[in-house]
A and B are shown apart, each in its own frame.
Chain A
Amino acid sequence: MAQHTVTVRGLVRQFGPRRVLDDLDLVVRQGEFVALLGRSGSGKSTLLRILAGLDRDADGEIAVDGTVSVAFQQPRLLPWRRVWRNVSLGLHGVDGREVAEKALAEVQLTDHAQAWPLTLSGGEAQRVSLARALVREPDLLLLDEPFGALDALTRLAMHRLVDDLWQRHRPAVLLVTHDVDEALELADRVLVLDEGRIVAEHTPPAGRPRRHADLTELRARVLADLGVVTDEAA
């Protein structure tokens, strides 16, 4: 039986009288790529922050096994540390210039190791953020709309990069997104969060890379779960 990296049962998170997460159950298996879809404000970030240990005011059973890394929608690099330093921060204390440069090579940023973060483009900064997350060799990689602020072309390149990195390192991934195509292209399993719990689960075809055409029907079903009616579903 496969090991579980994330096991969550009966998770409740309230802000005042509002239950943003309400009796939520979630399992992520070792090395599994899970995408979490949901409308804006449905509690996706809240769930991710709880799993990252940034929010300790939740009730319920929460078990995360192993090292956790997070990449946020904004790259959140320290502007006063050079790019390679920002990556080696992920190693926490260890002065791993070599490791950092290897990680930067993986995101095709070898030339920018010495650069200051403020000189990077949005996509480059986000790749540094990914390198910083990966350099820790995490068992669980939490991604909170990491491509949300990028232009469409950069986003496509980032999809390929993340897919590539995941295949190479095999962490369990929980990718939060509101982009249905992104979820269907990248994930083994697509979950839909609504009203504080997981309301639907879909499994895209196994092969990679996935062909857009093969996903049409599934996309319509997922969109229907999200409350969007399309021609295909109608």
Chain B
Amino acid sequence: MSIPVLTADRTRVSSAAVTPTRKPRRRALSGAWRWASPVALLLLWQVTSSTGILPDDKLSSPAKVLAAGVDLATSGQLGDAFVVSLRRVLIGVAVGAVIALALGITAGLSRWGAVLVDPPVQMLRTLPFLGLIPLFIIWFGIGEEPKIALVALGFAFPLYLNVYAGIRDTDPQLLEATAVLGFTRWERLAHVVLPAALPQALVGLRQGLGVAWLSLIVGEQINADAGLGYLINNARDFLRTDQVVVGLVVYAGLGLATDALVRALEGRALRWRSTR
């Protein structure tokens, strides 16, 4: 009948347009069905747990995880751990951002900056930075500093690389056009170079935040006495797999939340692109 034709037509439309436009009814259907398999898996997990196939000390059931979550939340433990971890990420990201922006802008704007800054950063980048943990412990001890330093380092590299690349990719034609209008170096920086580098910088921000969370999780494994990592390690010692999973869920939630935040930021800052 006419269905294959319609399908073919639809594929063509969606590949041509920037945002695929589908029939609303079809979207509603697939939207609901996308939840089917996750829910089924969750049910399967619950059933295997309740029937004892999946032992509690290997992985607690979803219901137990939920109960443990409520428990940890109402006792205030989860909130405290959350605040500690969030603080580590925020400070680490702030420090990393200052370093990455300073280096990236320096390297991007001046030829000498590029010659002097970029090679060492590129060399350091090839180091697996999580391997630096022993050195960090020697340098910073086992308190907050090595954790924050790890987050800062993990965050700084992607941001630096993207800021640098974004600035270097600035269209020289636009710089010329504004030079003719009498713009000074600083005005061109503000009106042309930085806005031109923004999309790439936001890509760097997103990548950097991903690495920052990873750095936090790894960093919190070393001798933490507070924070989500501490909560998880503690739970491990008592074989409380339900609490471990709660910690993991919170990590995941934080990752998702920052991603959504950056996406919202992108949507707002890059409005001029979305209308293409």
Contacts and interface: CB of A to CB of B under 8 A. Distances in A.
A146 B50 CA distance: 75
A100 to B, nearest CB: 13
24 contacts: A54-B179, A70-B180, A72-B173, A72-B177, A78-B174, A78-B178, A78-B191, A78-B195, A79-B272, A80-B195, A80-B196, A80-B198, A81-B191, A81-B272, A92-B181, A92-B182, A93-B187, A116-B271, A116-B272, A116-B275, A118-B272, A118-B276, A119-B276, A136-B181
Contacts of B174: 76, 78
A79 B199 CA distance: 12
Contacts of B182: 92
Which 9 pairs, one residue from A and one from B, show the smallest C-beta to C-beta distance?
A: A76-B177, A80-B195, A116-B272, A70-B180, A80-B272, A118-B276, A92-B182, A119-B275, A116-B275
Contacts, number: 50
A89 B175 CA distance: 13
Given A89-B178, A116-B272, A119-B275, 18 more contacts: A52-B180, A53-B179, A54-B179, A68-B180, A69-B180, A72-B177, A74-B173, A76-B173, A78-B191, A79-B273, A80-B198, A81-B272, A93-B187, A117-B272, A118-B272, A118-B275, A119-B276, A136-B181
A89 B178 CA distance: 8
B247 to A, nearest CB: 41
Nearest to A129: B177
B140 interface: no
Contacts of A92: 181-183
Contacts of A54: 176, 179-180
B170 to A, nearest CB: 11
A53 to B, nearest CB: 7
Categorize the interface residue count of chain B.
Answer: 20 to 34
A68 to B, nearest CB: 7
B222 interface: no
A169 B180 CA distance: 20
B54 interface: no
Interface string B188-232: 000110011010000000000000000000000000000000000
Contact of B191 (A70, A76, A89): A89
A92 B271 CA distance: 24
Interface in A122-181: 132, 136
A43 interface: no
Contacts of A69: 180
Nearest to A136: B181
A93 B187 CA distance: 9
A90 interface: yes
Interface string B260-275: 0000000000011101
A176 to B, nearest CB: 15
A89 B276 contact: no
Contacts of B271: 116
